Amino acid sequence: MFVEIINKVLDWLIVFFFVSLLIWLGVTQPVFSFFSSSSVPEIDQEKLKSHVEALSKTYAPRTPEFEGVRPAAHYIYRELAEAGRSIGRKPYYQAFGSVTGSFRNVIYKLGPATAETVVIGAHYDTKNSFPGADNNASGVAVLIELARALSIVEKDLPVRVELVAYALSEGSVLGTEDMGSYKHAAMLKKRNRAVKLMISVDSVGFFSDKSDSQEYPFSFMKLVYPTTGNFINISSHLQDFMVLREVKKSFKKIASLEVRSITAPENFPDITSSDQVSYWSQGFPAIMVSDTSAYRNKDYNTAYDTADKLDYARMAMVVQGLYQTVIDFKKGEGEKVRGEREKNQIQIINPK
């Protein structure tokens, strides 16, 4: 009798172990990489810093109430235009209306006119009147320098890339049709664009090498995730399990960049906290790249979220990770679309 009880306990322990292992594999997406890529370009940290300083000082606060989003949009347009000058590429505006007025996404398109599209976006508005250095001048700075890096190899890109700076994302508009990202995603859906991947770059500038600098929504997560906030995190809902894994493989090629990931249900904290939700609503695969925001950065969404608090060396690695993701993307068999037809379907406004 005693032996039978022991055997049953052992059976249950084995089942528990394998179930726990499967959950760990599914949630954390472990990727074991023993090499790094040498093909990624060097990223200018000073340019990253100058973008963050401009957006968090000169063009702050970037809110509809304070009209800050409009001059910020002009700044982003000018910087993207400069990034594409050598290849004759210019960004353009997507104008849209919301309950609080009229706004503009800034779009920079490059690469071949393939039927498949990769979208990488970052919102440039802030919550309340805060400087918003980490949230989300950091994401926009990364977007601008990614545009510069990809422009250099534009002729060799495997797929069409759309880099988008979104006008509205924070506060009450999150998760609604007033989001700039929703306007862009809906436009792509209307045109029957095959979006194979969308990456939301949201708060990617704050890192810490101090012990216990990383928190989580649930304490048990510390059993499988680091307690030092020196990594970039990639997250998505359960449906994009394999997409996230491929992106993580690309990021793992960047030397010295610590990478973690999580796939979880949409009701899990912060899984739906950024622009990827707009693309999910249109049936497109989408993920978020983030420094985990308030779970690490105690100044997040406060008056102390300033440019001097950010780690520009690791931000440069995030640019490289996104660059590598695009380079690794395998072009599908879809036919090329007519670029001029698509160009004429969007309202283009040049800055004054």
The correct CATH number of 33-343 out of 3.30.70.1070, 3.40.630.10, 3.30.565.10, 3.30.70.940 is 3.40.630.10
258-264 vs 160-166, strand pairing mode: unpaired
Q: Which pLDDT band, with edges at 50, 70 and 90, does 39 fall under?
A: confident
Q: Give the per-residue pLDDT at 9.
A: 53
Question: What residues contact 253, with CB distance under 8 A and at least 6 apart?
Answer: 33, 35, 36, 37, 40, 321, 324
Q: Position 131: which residue type? A: P
Cα separation, 207 vs 229, in Å, equals: 6
Give the model confidence (pLDDT) of 286-303 as tens digits: 999 999 999 999 999 999
Query: Does residue 119 or residue 29 have the better pLDDT?
Result: 119
- pLDDT, residue 13, reads 53
Higher pLDDT, 3 or 193: 193
- Rg of the chain over all Cα atoms, to the nearest angstrom: 21
**Domain range summary for the chain, segments of one domain joined by +:** 1-30, 33-343
Pair 257, 317: CB distance under 8 Å: yes
Q: Cα(first)–Cα(last) distance of the chain, in Å? A: 86
Cα-Cα-Cα-Cα dihedral of 223, 238, 207, 36, to 10°?
100
Instruction: Assign 21 a pLDDT band (cuts: 50, 70, 90).
Output: very low
CA distances from 255 to 104, 247, 258 (A): 36, 15, 8
Average pLDDT over residues 31-44: 70
Asked whether the beta carbons of 275 and 123 are under 8 A apart, the reply is yes
- Per residue in 51-71, pLDDT (tens digit) is 999 999 999 889 887 667 889
**Alpha-helical segments (H) within the chain:** 2-28, 45-53, 69-83, 138-152, 180-190, 241-251, 276-280, 312-328, 339-343
Return the pLDDT at 172. Answer: 84
pTM comes to 0.87
pLDDT band at 245, cuts 50/70/90?
very high
User: Residue 173 is encoded by which pair of tokens?
Assistant: 């508009």
- Is the pLDDT reported for residue 19 higher than 60? no
CB 310 within 8 A of CB 222: no
Report pLDDT digits (tens) over 72-131. 999 999 999 999 999 999 999 999 987 778 899 999 999 999 889 999 999 999 988 899
